Amino acid sequence: MKAKLIVIVILTFGVLFTNCNKKESLAKLDEVGINILKDEFPESKAEIKKVLDDIFKCFQDNNADKLIAHHVYGPKFTEFRNDAPRFGSKENEAYERGFVDAISDFNYNLGDLKIDVFDDTAIVTFEADFRPTMGDQVPQIWANVTLVFIKIDNTWKITHEHFSQFEKKKI
């Protein structure tokens, strides 16, 4: 009987303590006033826009090392490119180094750019209009692009890329 009473008392305090922690966490979010679904996070958006500008400057400057530094490679990094299966860190790095090495100039436009920030995670979408100079060729590349960024040590890094090339129809 005493053992049952002790177990019931311990469980009761455990439940009360857990509920108090949940209430405290919710109260802290209310105090800070953060709503990750509705808040715009303008400072973070500006930081991410700077990172995007720097990423495309890496292409223009043929700086693959700096481009690669904008990624957080590891087991959670993923990439989808056109109709191919999912790629990981090694494949993404090899592809991006090869692409940077193959171009001598890079012009681009990020149409319909949208940056959605969810505290320390952001989803960036745009319609890419890329015109890389490769030898004497300047192909026109249109693609829908999604980049997922996470903030690590106050720096925004890419953890996922999705690139779907398409043909732009002229109207």
- The full set of domain ranges for the chain reads 1-33, 42-166
Whole-structure pTM over 0.85, yes or no? no
Write out the H or E segment, with its range, that includes residue 112: strand 105-118
pLDDT of residue 29: 45
Contacts of 99 (CB under 8 A, 6+ apart): 59, 132
Summarised one tens digit per residue, pLDDT across range 28-39 is: 445 667 888 888
Query: For 65-122, how does the pLDDT look when each residue is reduced to its tens digit (9 = 90+)?
Result: 999 999 999 999 999 999 899 999 999 999 999 999 999 999 999 999 999 999 999 9
Q: How far apart are CA 31 and CA 78, in angstroms?
A: 36
42-166: CATH architecture:
Roll (3.10)
Closest CA to 65 of 96, 19, 35: 96
pLDDT of residue 30: 52
